[in-house]
Amino acid sequence: MATETRSFRHVVVGGGFAGEHAVRGIRKLDPEGSIALFSLEPHPPYQRPPLSKGLWLGGSEEKLPLRKEGYGEVGVELFLGTEVAHLDRAAHTVTDVSGRVFRYEKLLLATGGRVKQLPFGEDRILYYRTLDDYHALRRRTEAGERFVIIGGGFIGAELAAALAQNGKQVRMVFPEAAVLERVLPGDLARWVTGYYREKGVEVLAGDAPVAVEPVGGSSATGRSRVRLKSGTSLEADGVVAGIGIRPDTRLAEEAGLRVDDGIVVDGFLRTEDPDVFAAGDVARFPYAALGRLARVEHEENAIRQGETAGVNMAGGSERYDLSPMFYSDLFDLGFEAVGDLSSRHRTEALWKEPYREGIVHYLEGDRVVGILLWNAWGRLDEAREVLGSIRRLSLDGA
């Protein structure tokens, strides 16, 4: 039986920060045009950052939803728990997994990323990304005390701190030599790793899991055994992993759009198809201050790109020239940053107090390509100005 094709002026695929903020951008210039918003999530768009931070420190779930009013009130039809499976650019349609067809005039791909997964332990490992994952981990923490966290990146570092601050026994396992080693300069990453150990987190750096199995061969207890390459075996009441994401570019690839570790867009967040835009974690965009294409997997980028894409979908011509910030909270340590914080770059650090408060410049030649404000607050605007130049921030802001 042929299904009816529904038509919308704007179709947004992805219900994260980028998708939600695209709706806001569209509504700035187009108060009336119909909008369909598709999300794999069963929940309307909400904030994810508190899932690994504030919610473990007394924060309330009530503050998570990104919109107070109903979506219907702003003329948005929400398709939750719905996977868009197919994009036909010639017909200007997308098709969901159940075969329903939706016509668009302008389309935004804000599909974010899919978690990388280990080739074992499928039913034992919680790949932590969503509100439902938070609930699942909460239940686990109510039932048990011992947790293994796989991965020493953002999720691993934040969750290890969060669970330890909730009195849990936490062990972290990752292949690098130190926590956040890809991001922080080596000496700082090593110091942070020592700090985690002081706070009671057992850090098993330079190791990797090779199997995760139910204890006693049965899942009845919920307990797992994590076997490591080194031969060590860890028992846990819960195993959580954050081992990175892959940008979810499948729709773009299938539709023949340019993909290069992300959907390639121009400064207006348009793909080479003028009716298809991309924003957020999935978009590889011209990073103005760095003078090259980049992809950023953090909150502010998703918010601001979503909004810019929305404005442009509604007929605007706004260029995305922001150097987006990102941040993290790790016990009582915290940072804000802009640019490319790859620890492969040469770095120059200025410390007010070593490893407690300072500024790190990440350099390509003499040019600043990233700035880490380590427990140094209120300096983001200056950091954005310096990014891409050969100037440096000073410690005191003078």
Contact set with ligand NDP (CB under 6 A): 52, 118, 150-156, 158, 173-176, 182, 208-209, 242-245, 297-298, 326-328
Task: State in angstroms the smallest separation of the CB of 298 from ligand NDP.
Answer: 4
| Sign of torsion over alpha carbons 281, 286, 288, 294 | positive
Q: Which is nearer to ligand NDP, 235 or 272 (CB)?
A: 235
Which of these, 282, 279, 254, lies nearest to 86 by C-alpha position? 254
Q: Which is nearer to ligand NDP, 153 or 370 (CB)?
A: 153
Task: State in angstroms the smallest separation of the CB of 392 from ligand NDP.
Answer: 24
Residue 250: Cβ within 10 Å count: 16
Q: Which is nearer to ligand NDP, 158 or 237 (CB)?
A: 158
| CA atoms of 372 and 338, how far apart (whole Å) | 7
Both ends of the chain: CA-CA distance in Å?
71
| CA atoms of 355 and 353, how far apart (whole Å) | 6
Task: State in angstroms the smallest separation of the CB of 201 from ligand NDP.
Answer: 14
Task: State in angstroms the smallest separation of the CB of 299 from ligand NDP.
Answer: 6
Q: Which is nearer to ligand NDP, 11 or 19 (CB)?
A: 19
Token pair recorded at residue 273: 């198809």
Beta-carbon contacts of 43 under 8 Å, excluding residues fewer than 6 positions away, are: 65, 80, 131
Task: State in angstroms the smallest separation of the CB of 343 from ligand NDP.
Answer: 10
| CA atoms of 350 and 322, how far apart (whole Å) | 25
Expressed in percent and rounded to 5, the helix, strand and coil fractions of the chain are 25, 35, 40
Which of these, 173, 298, 177, 178, lies nearest to 242 by C-alpha position? 173
Phi–psi pair at 274, nearest 5 degrees: -65, -15
Task: State in angstroms the smallest separation of the CB of 52 from ligand NDP.
Answer: 5
Q: Which is nearer to ligand NDP, 229 or 319 (CB)?
A: 229
Q: Which is nearer to ligand NDP, 71 or 327 (CB)?
A: 327
Q: Which is nearer to ligand NDP, 11 or 294 (CB)?
A: 294
Q: Which is nearer to ligand NDP, 282 or 311 (CB)?
A: 282
User: What residues are paired with 234 via a beta bridge?
Assistant: 226
Task: State in angstroms the smallest separation of the CB of 255 from ligand NDP.
Answer: 24
* Residue with the shortest CB distance to ligand NDP: 153
| CA atoms of 36 and 7, how far apart (whole Å) | 9
Task: State in angstroms the smallest separation of the CB of 328 from ligand NDP.
Answer: 4
In contact, 89 and 254? CB cutoff 8 Å: no
Residue 389: Cβ within 10 Å count: 11
In contact, 282 and 250? CB cutoff 8 Å: no
